[in-house]
Amino acid sequence: MARRPALDIADTLQGVAEELAEHFHADPYQVVELVPSRDEKGGTTFARIVTEGGESDPRYCSLEVNRRQGDIGPDGPNIVGRAPYTAELPADTALTDRHVLVVDGRDFTPTSPARIGGAFDLFKVVDLEVKT
């Protein structure tokens, strides 16, 4: 079977992903793990361990506000449960739902797994909420 032209295009896009990120990912981020430990009063405190990003290894993403909170379908309006923010991260990110994503100094909680689609997707996308 002959190679599909779409695969050649996908390979080309993957080859320029880093350059595209350089031009379009402007928001510095860190992936932070919250490690619990007991304090002297018997409570729990959380140490913040940076596992990705930071001063020695700066990383950048694209943070967007989701503007659509609902949808109009054939049966009328539907409320769609969507996170208020979406971040586009490098494909090699280690972000999981156990982490906090810190973007421009603000803490966000992932509400979905960091996911990547098909061959044309260059970056992982994750839904987020502001951590309270």
- Does a structural domain hold residue 96? yes
Res 71: pLDDT:
57
- Does a structural domain hold residue 13? no
Read off the CATH number of the domain in which 93 is found: 2.40.10.270
Cβ atoms of 131 and 85 within 8 Å: the answer is no
Rounded to an integer, what distance in angstroms lies between the CA atom of residue 52 and that of residue 29? 8
Count of structural domains within the chain: 1
Please, which pLDDT band fits residue 68 given cuts at 50, 70 and 90?
A: low
- Check whether 82 has a pLDDT greater than 70: no
Q: How many C-beta atoms surround the C-beta of residue 98 within 10 A?
A: 9
**Which residues form the domain of 55?**
26-130
Residue matched to tokens 């509400």: 111
Cβ atoms of 114 and 95 within 8 Å: the answer is yes
Rounded to an integer, what distance in angstroms lies between the CA atom of residue 121 and that of residue 36? 35
- Does a structural domain hold residue 1? no
- Does a structural domain hold residue 7? no
Q: Is 27 helix (H, G, I), strand (E, B) or coil?
A: strand
- Does a structural domain hold residue 11? no
Span 7-62, pLDDT tens digits: 777 777 677 667 776 777 889 999 999 999 998 888 999 999 999 998 888 899 99
